[in-house]
Structure 1
Amino acid sequence: MAAAALFVIGAAPGQLHAQALPSLSSDEPVLIQADEVEYSDQLDIVIARGNVEVAQGPRIVRADTLTYNRRDGIVTAQGNVAIVEPDGSVLFASYAQLDEELAKGVARDLRARLADQTLLAAAGSTREGRFTRMDKAAYTACELCEETPDRPPLWQLKADTVTHDEQTRDIVYRDATLELLGVPVIYTPYFSHPDPTVDRRSGVLAPTYRSNSTLGSRIDVPYHIVIDPSSDATVTPIWTTDQGAGLGLEYRRVLDEGAFSLEGLIADASDEVDRDNTRGYIAGRGRFDINRTWRWGFDGMWAGDDTVLRVYDISNRETLTSTLYAEQLNGRDYALIAGYWFQGLRSDQVQSRLPIAVPMAQWNQLGAPGAGPMGGQWRLDSSFAGLTRREGTDSYRMTVDGGWNRSFIGAEGGVYTVATGLRGDGYMVDDVQDGTRTFDGTTGRVVPEVSLDWRLPMVRSDGAARQVIEPIVHAVLSPYGGNPTKIPNEDSRDFEFDETNLFENQRFAGYDRVEGGPRVSYGMRLGHYTGDGGQITGLVGQSLRARADDTFSPGSGLDDKVSDYVGRVVVTPDPNLNLYYRFRFDKDTLEPRRTDLGASWIVRQASFDLSYILLQADEELSPEDADDREEIYFSAGYDISDDFKVFGSLRRDLENERSIDHGVGVAVDFDNCLYIVSEVRRSFSRDRDVQPSTDVLVRVVLRTLGGTY
């Protein structure tokens, strides 16, 4: 029969699974389409030949020839057999036979392209119940070469037998060998991994090799544990050649009201680190909703010794901050109550002198624009801080700060903003140095403040481009003498004068120091904006005061009546190129006191990042610490192809003419089936057991076998 034929058959109920051959037992009718179809009423057999296609629901079987024995319930397919599964998997065979109940079935020369585009091939296949067994099988996630499909893939896993359990959804290998380019490299009597239908599964993840001068060679072999749908854990045994073994742990859990994670490490240590011969750390983070506006959380870390985090490549932080907090976000209002604990990791830090901040609380309220008195906007900020130490100063501070502001536009187009504020601070302190004596007791201050800010934005349009010039004058009036020696400075030590706080009423980031006296800041903001998104912006300015203020240390740029010049320039011709320059020039000599210069550029396959920083030392520091800082950092990456990337970085101390660290690396993705990242980094830092070393990292991931990338 030369004409195409179409045949519809009713069948009994049944089900097909991912690795099974299709059953025609189902309530759905079976649609058979072929060049030629024969049906024998006496034998109850359907025979289809030529471009045979059998469809039952979403499942399709194609073959050169297909025989369906309705009496025995057996389907036999021969020649270029292809079975398309509902999950996207495609099975190929030269011959396949299966009964209607899926209890027994066989196939020869089985090849399968699974739903995740991996390949599985076997000389023969037999199905018994929920198990499908494949003999002389091979598995790979690599694409075969179209020109020479017989050439071995980049990697493949060969085994005498491979068994798929459709109930547990495991694929189990017996007497398996891993081959790279056809060369056996690893043998294991047993190996298993989940089939493509599994999203999460416990198992070994890709190991990582590292080396440095302190640990020697190091191998991390993480094991991922799926506990339930909302939680999992990772256990990472660590082996080192110079300091023994270690164990890393990480636990993660998602709850209806939030999520949290915990991690830690315990490891052997050399005698120079800890006489108990153990070291480690613990850390955790979590955040949970209490109701629509309130939430609470924690974020903390504790290290068993000062250098363990750097030795095991966990963190480079010099001070660890742990906090437990609850906060409210309600419209314009914000409330916080928290506690903080600090751990110092520098050699010059004494733990007993670091504070414990409990409690720390603040409440900020902001009125709607125009809803305050005289059409302005009101604010009310209050805070409380309690700091205690085992050795040194204890202090408790209560602050209430209220204010009002209103903006209006003058006849010449200038924008005027008038603001008033009244702040009160109350302190109860213990062991504060008041000159040559120690003070214990209560003290406080009241700081009234009035400010006027004037800006005149002028805009010029030239086609699609726009230029903006905006002169700014900001004047503040407040009394002198707001920083008596009885008030300790706990939160305003790290002060830096720059363009970000040039026009602020109070330039200190904390509460313990206030800026007083009449003062005026002035400057100019410039901008050029092109029609295609490019822009050039700049700001330069200076501050004047009625008299010098010794609240600011020498070298800060604000200690004299006339401040240094501060500003910035940002050039962004397009989204892929960004240049910036931040500066502070000496008011008399125009000598750079601070320079922060940087550039980032992405062009085709390449990316570059360059930064240069110059900081003149604060003259208030001791001579041995009063060193200028001049440093340059450069990093670059280049995509040789979509699958081959190289990268590197360099950090150098120009003041002392020495490298801080530098390194190079490569990341290669071979055919989307094998990923290798390797990096070599040289560090020149010295700190107790941290010595200059060459660090090496290598990580190899076989797609679908214990790793993602």
Structure 2
Amino acid sequence: MILGQRNRHGVSMGVRRSTVVAAVALALGSVSLTTLARAQTANDLIARKAGAQSDKSRLLVEGREIVYNRDKNTVAASGDVELNYGGRTLQADRVTLDRTNGRVHATGNVRMIEANGTVTTGDRFELTDDFRTGFIDSLRSVQETRDAQGPVVTRFSAPRGERVDGQTTTFQNGTYTACEPCRDNPERPPLWQVKAARVIHNNEERRIYYENATIEVAGVPIGFWPYFWTPDPSVKRESGFLAPRYIHTKALGYGAAIPYFWAISPDKDLTLYPTFHSRQGFLMQAEYRQRFHTGGLNIRAAGIAQQDEDAFLPGPYGAGDRRWRGSIETTGRFNINENWHYGWDVALLSDKWFLQNYKIRSESFAATNYVLPESTSQAFLRGQGDRSFFDMRAMYFQGLSFADWQKQLPGITPVIDYDKRVNGPDPIGGEVRFQFNFANINRAATQFSSTSIANRAYPYAPPGFQSVLPTAYGTGLYGTAIPYESCAVFQRGACIVNGLAGNFARVSAEASWRRRFIDDAGQTWTPFAYLRADGFFNNFDGDGYQNYAVTNFIRTQGNDFVGRVMPAVGLEYRYPFVADAGRYGVHTVQPIGQIIARPNETGYRRIANEDAHSLVYDDSNLFDWDKFSGYDRAEGGVRANVGIQYNVATPSGWTGSALFGQSYQVAGHNSFGAADLLNTGAGSGLDSRASDFVGRVQVNPSENFSLITRGRFGKDDFSVNGFEAQAVANFKPFFPIAASLTYARYEAQPQQGYLYRREGLRPAVAWDITPNWSIGGSVLFDLDRYLELRDTYATALGGLAAIDKRTERWTVAQTNIGLTYRDECTTLSVNYLTSPRLAATGMRDTDRTVLVRLELRTLGQSNVSQSISTTTADGIATR
């Protein structure tokens, strides 16, 4: 077996001792030596006879006593002897140089230090006079290098070893490990080691060969190999086999992969991952990587001819009707210059379930809402200056859950953003900002969502879904056909449209100015103004799926253009009051007022809102000029924002801050109360003339503790419409524990499809039990899950409510618990993960996985992932 090395870094360090009592330099040529009393004369003679010889061709001998025997033609040195030649240093209690045969015999605490810092010790050395070849008894070799984790020390040992030409050392009945010996009991076996009949370390090839090798953990053999080799720890990249990988799932059976890494050249490599599954056959994966002067790219491909297609559900719920499945992905990042770079992430998949079914690593894979996965492909060009920014990209989204209908997912071709800030010209001064955005979005089918309880289990299913499901699963469980969509015709208050079919382009440009003035009383005045223009080019697809359903609300035939101009002027006022209370700190109270005047928003009923879906009103955007998250909507009318801010800082390091405020629609039409296709502003807290109150409190008693809370409270009764809190405590170095607790609660927004309040709690902790052992994890509790279970299934799926009667409030939505052991040579981690997923039944099931990772540093690592779920995975058949 050959173990390759894909990522490793190495450096070497030099070590030298120089306690000199008497010294004699001995040239390799014919030189007469005198006694210790004439050492200096001998040195002079050597220097004269060496002539133009370099320092590396001379042997320097240091010792307390040096004796030259003319009859035997030997030189004997004793007492802290040190010999230096060719960058190597040999230290011993006694050294004898036989000039007749050119051999060096060293005994007693012998130690040789290589130029690269490798230290070799033994009881007796017999070497040539250049230290390159010979034999060593009770051999021990220590080499310090560096890998991606930092410095690493490797150790070889053997009863006897042979050194050949300074490049190869053979350890007879040798051992190899990267673990430190036990300080209290050095004779005890290290945590892991490789024992072999012969261990051959070739420095020229930078490889370590093992013959008849056994790997031991805590002295217990766990594996035997007749022959294998590994790269030297200093090697960064080396061709060869990587550590094997194992997999087991219900649909795939038992599987094993032995990856092979091929270092084609310093700038490119190829990794092959042949994997055999007992149920599905041979899966081939490959990854090609190449680096250039300006960047790099990689290409990943995977493919299989499935042997047991019945392991997966039939379409459209799985890939049970496919024999050939696979994927091709590529990623690239390149620099044009120091300010400009471009790149891409592209994924082509045979079906939406392939990556998950076969556990394929993918850089395009992402999960939303902990449930719905998707693959994102994009290409981009980005520029960054001191005060400017440019970004252009095209994006394609592929849904990877059965609940996704690809025709409803948008394509972006492209979206362009430009932002530039400059100093304002005299005499206005201040800062001038230019912003530009262009977006072109297309979609094949209109996407609806119901704002009622009905059909919550299948909000995105394609036509015909209700007739296929009973057939796919049998009528015993689902005896009644499930309705597809209640929004047959758009009804305000009952439906929202997440996206329209067709092609929609928008161009937006904005120029703004602001300048801050501070008067003699300390008051801060910031006038500002902006002018924004938008043009919407709507090309409705008259033949697009389901566009007919919204004809009563928006034009859905042919082309349409909508223009909008939004000028605005405003003023922001702040007046900080500062009080110095000595040891009680410096306190600052600052009232803030802001008013913005602009005309009413127009055209919002005739556009497809694509980039302003989300609207979260809190303290972070209380004083934003426009609180919409994107360009498709533009806040209009006259609005005033007011608040008060408090800060405190004490000499002991205690700090705190608070903000509380409200927003008012002073005049004109309230954009947040205007219903568009998404009911964007409904229930946001901004949809009435006087908004909800928003606030934030943050306290930091020290650098190790912090507490931050923020909330949105009803304008009439101060009811909690939204609340977030997080406490973080780091007890180190007094106690090895760090912990956090996060809580969030948001009231229901039925106009936007959130029928129930959203509430969750997430505690997390990390505890270093010992310097080597640590445990940590987090648990996410879904505190509103019981509401949905109680009502949604009963209404939408009838008898299915009897199958799942869970009504407990403390539903675990996600768990990550891990136990880790780590020392200088070994890492062992065991993780237990649970996460929700939208299973093929349409319900949210829980995926439970155990991950085990073992790394023997410098030797390799192995990962095992095992699902222990009893529920049906997305696309996996129950049989």
- What is the TM-score normalised by the length of structure 2? 0.73
The reply on whether 1:382 has 2:436 as its aligned counterpart is yes
CA deviation vs aligned residue, 1:290-348 (integer Å, no higher than 9, x gap): 23433222234455544555563854343433221222223323333321222233444
With 354-363 and 538-547 compared, the bigger mean Cα shift is at 354-363
Q: CA deviation at 1:278?
A: 5.3
Letter in 1 for 2:568: E
Q: Which has the higher helix share?
A: 2
CA deviation vs aligned residue, 1:224-275 (integer Å, no higher than 9, x gap): 4433333445444556666666455444443222234444554667322312
Asked whether the equivalents of residues 113 and 120 of structure 1 are also in contact (C-alpha less than 8 Å), the reply is yes
Match of 2:264 among 227, 241, 246: 227
The correspondence of residues 28-47 of structure 1 with structure 2, limited to 5 A, is 28-47=57-76
Equivalent position of 1:138 in the other structure: 175
Separation in structure 2 between the aligned mates of residue 406 and residue 477 of structure 1, nearest angstrom: 17
CA deviation vs aligned residue, 1:389-433 (integer Å, no higher than 9, x gap): 233131111222222222212454221111122211112212285
Alignment gaps of 5+ in structure 1 = 14-23
The reply on whether 1:482 has 2:602 as its aligned counterpart is yes
Partner-residue secondary structure (3-state), 1:328: strand
Asked whether the equivalents of residues 367 and 379 of structure 1 are also in contact (C-alpha less than 8 Å), the reply is yes
Asked whether the equivalents of residues 632 and 652 of structure 1 are also in contact (C-alpha less than 8 Å), the reply is yes
The change in CA–CA distance for 1:214 and 1:693 in structure 2 (over 3 A counts) is: farther
The reply on whether 1:168 has 2:223 as its aligned counterpart is no
The reply on whether 1:662 has 2:818 as its aligned counterpart is no
Q: CA deviation at 1:654?
A: 0.8
Equivalent position of 1:606 in the other structure: 737
Q: CA deviation at 1:164?
A: 2.3
Asked whether the equivalents of residues 831 and 852 of structure 2 are also in contact (C-alpha less than 8 Å), the reply is yes
Letter in 2 for 1:170: R
The correspondence of residues 97-496 of structure 1 with structure 2, limited to 5 A, is 97-100=126-129, 104-115=133-144, 116-129=152-165, 130-206=167-243, 222-238=259-275, 246-263=283-300, 265-266=302-303, 270-272=311-313, 273-274=318-319, 275-277=321-323, 279=325, 281-301=327-347, 303-309=349-355, 312=359, 315-317=366-368, 318-368=373-423, 370-371=424-425, 374-391=428-445, 392-431=501-540, 435=553, 437-439=555-557, 440-463=559-582, 465-496=585-616
Separation in structure 1 between the aligned mates of residue 182 and residue 514 of structure 2, nearest angstrom: 72
Asked whether the equivalents of residues 340 and 384 of structure 2 are also in contact (C-alpha less than 8 Å), the reply is yes
The change in CA–CA distance for 1:11 and 1:175 in structure 2 (over 3 A counts) is: same
With 441-450 and 303-312 compared, the bigger mean Cα shift is at 303-312
The change in CA–CA distance for 1:606 and 1:225 in structure 2 (over 3 A counts) is: farther
CA deviation vs aligned residue, 1:64-107 (integer Å, no higher than 9, x gap): 32211223211122233221222222212222222246674222
CA deviation vs aligned residue, 1:514-536 (integer Å, no higher than 9, x gap): 11111111111111122344321
With 508-517 and 346-355 compared, the bigger mean Cα shift is at 346-355
Asked whether the equivalents of residues 208 and 697 of structure 1 are also in contact (C-alpha less than 8 Å), the reply is no
RCO (CA 8 Å, sep 6+): is it higher in 1 or 2? 2
The reply on whether 1:632 has 2:649 as its aligned counterpart is no
Separation in structure 2 between the aligned mates of residue 293 and residue 181 of structure 1, nearest angstrom: 53
With 691-700 and 256-265 compared, the bigger mean Cα shift is at 256-265
CA deviation vs aligned residue, 1:619-668 (integer Å, no higher than 9, x gap): 3135xx51221111111110011111011221111112211122422101
Q: Which has the higher strand share?
A: 1
CA deviation vs aligned residue, 1:143-189 (integer Å, no higher than 9, x gap): 22344333222222111112222321211011111122222221000
With 651-660 and 43-52 compared, the bigger mean Cα shift is at 43-52
Equivalent position of 1:10 in the other structure: 27
Partner-residue secondary structure (3-state), 2:556: strand
Partner-residue secondary structure (3-state), 1:500: helix
Separation in structure 2 between the aligned mates of residue 402 and residue 124 of structure 1, nearest angstrom: 80
Asked whether the equivalents of residues 66 and 75 of structure 1 are also in contact (C-alpha less than 8 Å), the reply is yes
Separation in structure 2 between the aligned mates of residue 9 and residue 414 of structure 1, nearest angstrom: 85
Letter in 2 for 1:144: P
Separation in structure 2 between the aligned mates of residue 529 and residue 238 of structure 1, nearest angstrom: 60
Alignment gaps of 5+ in structure 2 = 1-19, 31-52, 145-151, 446-500, 541-546, 675-679, 787-808, 864-879
The change in CA–CA distance for 1:334 and 1:647 in structure 2 (over 3 A counts) is: closer
Partner-residue secondary structure (3-state), 2:390: strand
Letter in 1 for 2:103: I
Identity %: 31
Partner-residue secondary structure (3-state), 1:374: coil
- What is the TM-score normalised by the length of structure 1? 0.90
With 80-89 and 121-130 compared, the bigger mean Cα shift is at 121-130
Alignment root-mean-square deviation, CA: 3.1
Equivalent position of 2:828 in the other structure: 676
The change in CA–CA distance for 1:305 and 1:597 in structure 2 (over 3 A counts) is: farther
User: How many residues matched?
Assistant: 693
The change in CA–CA distance for 1:417 and 1:59 in structure 2 (over 3 A counts) is: same
Equivalent position of 1:16 in the other structure: none
Asked whether the equivalents of residues 10 and 27 of structure 1 are also in contact (C-alpha less than 8 Å), the reply is no
Separation in structure 2 between the aligned mates of residue 538 and residue 139 of structure 1, nearest angstrom: 60
With 126-135 and 382-391 compared, the bigger mean Cα shift is at 126-135
Q: CA deviation at 1:587?
A: 1.1
